Amino acid sequence: MPDRVLRAMDRAALDHRGPEFAAIVAACQDGLRHLYKTTRPVVIYPAAGHGAWEAALTNTSSPGDTILMAETGAFSGWWREMAESFGITVEYLAGDWRHGADPEAIEARLAEDRAGVIKAVAVVHNETSTGVTSRIADVGRAIDRASHPALFLVDNISSLASMDFRMDEWRIDVAIGGAQKGLMLPPGLGFTAVSEKAFRASQSARLPRNYWDWRAQLPDGLTPTFTCTPAVNLFFGLKESLDMLLEEGLDEVFARHARLAEAVRRAVRAWGLDLQSADPREHSNSVSAIRMPDGHDAEMVREACHSRANVVLAGGLRKLAGRVFRIGHLGDLNEPMILGTLAATELALAATSAPHTPGGTTAAIRYLAEN
């Protein structure tokens, strides 16, 4: 979290129904629309990403509805379980956790569904557990080609503000984001950007909802209002973070992420280790999951990295527990931070006698020097 963001939040709260706060909220709406590349409103909840998931599902579905979801990893799995807990039937398109959602498979399934049983297609844009980024533009085109009326729900929690995202151009109906990743904020804000079609669907959706209800949060379909007390100080931080992103320039922010992510990938390759992401078109620019050779526990590398260098690598989730460690490379990040992380990781690999070829950090330096 950048100091600018922390300092912006370090002040007394304002009257959240007063004009000064209204101006901050309006600036945040403008900034978020820019990030989402949409003309549509973004409903901002005091919530974690799970809340925004729930808002997207409960505002668009009725009990017994079927949605088509792509298995990309741990997060698609948790979203699926949430949907099922609401009585939604999830057709879960099987995946191997090394690839993103398959646009052809989605198109084929929708083309088959002549009765229009499928009410929505749900995809996690950047699967944080695997470091795989699904090709959302291709999925949007696949839905179009199938001429299917399904809504398109996309979780962009770990791609927002780190990778290009085009809600309107990619014909997305609900885009689900959160504060604590590319926006460089503490956790506590959940976003749903709502298309006109999704807003219309919410008028007749029958899943019970109250806190999440767009009919209250977005009464005219265009202007978000707060039914509960907003997370006032997080808005101060959000405005500062959006200012920082727009000052740098979105294209520059995305290019910085791409370059630092590639430096990480060069290091991984030089170590002789594999990324969990198997298709170079889908390598994530916000997180890399690195596979440990069979018989070696990724948790030992994590523990050594933490205890010796005070650098926290993320662990493997669900079936990847112990199999991968993850390097987050998003948000307020520059060359020395990424090189420090790679050097600490290389130290941990050496200290735990993990099979690897030394020199990954040097390979990253070489890539950054030349690019």
Residues found near ligand PLP in the complex (CB under 6 A): 48-50, 75, 124, 128, 155, 157-158, 178, 187
Q: Name the residue nearer to ligand PLP (CB basis): 181 or 356.
A: 181
**Cα 231 from chain centre:** 21
Q: Strand, coil or helix: what is 35?
A: helix
CB of 129 to ligand PLP, least distance (A): 8
Q: Name the residue nearer to ligand PLP (CB basis): 5 or 124.
A: 124
Q: Are 61 and 119 in contact (CB under 8 A)?
A: yes
Q: Which residues contact 275 (CB under 8 A, 6 or more apart)?
A: 131, 265, 268, 283, 288, 289, 290, 291
Nearest residue (beta carbon) to ligand PLP: 49
Taking the chain, what is the end-to-end CA distance rounded to the nearest angstrom?
A: 26
Q: Name the residue nearer to ligand PLP (CB basis): 76 or 341.
A: 76
CB of 70 to ligand PLP, least distance (A): 13
CB of 361 to ligand PLP, least distance (A): 27
Q: Name the residue nearer to ligand PLP (CB basis): 50 or 197.
A: 50
Q: Are 345 and 301 in contact (CB under 8 A)?
A: yes
Pull the structure tokens for residue 118.
């499928």
Q: Name the residue nearer to ligand PLP (CB basis): 46 or 221.
A: 46
Q: Name the residue nearer to ligand PLP (CB basis): 158 or 276.
A: 158
- The closest alpha carbon to 316, from 351, 291, 350, belongs to 291
Q: Name the residue nearer to ligand PLP (CB basis): 131 or 230.
A: 131
Report helix, strand and coil shares of the chain as percent, to nearest 5. 45, 15, 40
Helix axis angle for 49-60 and 196-204, nearest 10°, is 70
CB of 239 to ligand PLP, least distance (A): 20
Distance CA 89, CA 66 (A): 5
CB of 211 to ligand PLP, least distance (A): 15
CB of 358 to ligand PLP, least distance (A): 32
Distance CA 220, CA 59 (A): 15
Q: Name the residue nearer to ligand PLP (CB basis): 51 or 224.
A: 51
CB of 14 to ligand PLP, least distance (A): 25
Q: Are 137 and 170 in contact (CB under 8 A)?
A: yes
- The closest alpha carbon to 364, from 269, 274, 278, 289, belongs to 269
CB of 171 to ligand PLP, least distance (A): 20
